[in-house]
A and B are shown apart, each in its own frame.
Chain A
Amino acid sequence: MKADQSLDCVGLYCPMPIVKTAERIKQLKQGEVLEVVADDKGIKLDMSAWCEATGHEFLGVEEEDNEIKVYVKKAHQ
């Protein structure tokens, strides 16, 4: 999936990927996509829950070996 910005969270566990995502999403423009790369499996459900709470759009997950990429579209400022 194509993303406007990428956030490296490899080696980080809950709650750091979510905390970092919340921080980074501020730098994106509305409609842009953020890719979060992580290796903690918890992120898949965590990120969709975060999107539901914050109103951003959860675009999906891509998994390759131990690397998990989740995609979030910034839905509002």
Chain B
Amino acid sequence: MVDKEKLTIAVLSGDLERALSAFMLATTGAAMGMEVNMFFTFWGLNIIKRNEGGIKSKGLMRKMLNLMNRGGSKRLKLSRFNMFGLGTWMMKRLMKDINMPSIDEFITMAHQMGVKLIACTTTCGVMGLLPEKDTFRSEVDSLTGAAYFLGEARQSKVTLFI
């Protein structure tokens, strides 16, 4: 092993099961000695939004969008069988039963393992978010755009779109 192999993951979805698979692969990649970048865009931004309220935004439409779509790792739902939260609650119980980390724990773990969490600034605008560090949890490393993602993807051995 000379140079570290790179793994780049674009996380477009904010569904619980997709977020989980993204973090499972990211942490496994880091454990396998890969340099991992996770790039969050569109609904994926919900995963790394701060869980606490008071996320600032500008303009009525954006404020409304933010209100309806609070986001945060603790509020992710299953894409199917959510059943007004019952399905998601059950899945989270089952995850706990088999000692699977929660999204929150996965984010902390990934961060500690050196996985870079990156928020896409362009989609912040359409998701009603200010492209600022304060919008996101502290583990987020940087905010950037598509060129950075492609720059990383070009050098990556594996690139995933989730």
Contact = CB atoms under 8 A, between A and B. Distances in A.
Bound together: yes
Contacts of A55: 1
A50 interface: yes
B1 A19 contact: no
Which of A11, A15, A16: most chain B CB closer than 10 A?
A: A15
Interface string B20-58: 000011011011111000000000000000000000000
Interface string B101-137: 1000000010001000000000000000000000000
Interface of A: 11-16, 18-19, 21-23, 49-50, 53-55
Nearest to A18: B31
B160 interface: no
A13 B99 CA distance: 7
Contacts of B100: 13, 16
Contact of B24 (A11, A15, A22, A50): A15
Contacts of A12: 99
B104 to A, nearest CB: 15
Contacts of B113: 19
A54 B33 contact: yes
A30 to B, nearest CB: 15
A49 B28 CA distance: 11
Nearest to B24: A15
A15 B34 CA distance: 15
Contacts of A49: 32
Contacts of B31: 15, 18-19, 21-23, 50
Nearest to B113: A19
B7 to A, nearest CB: 11
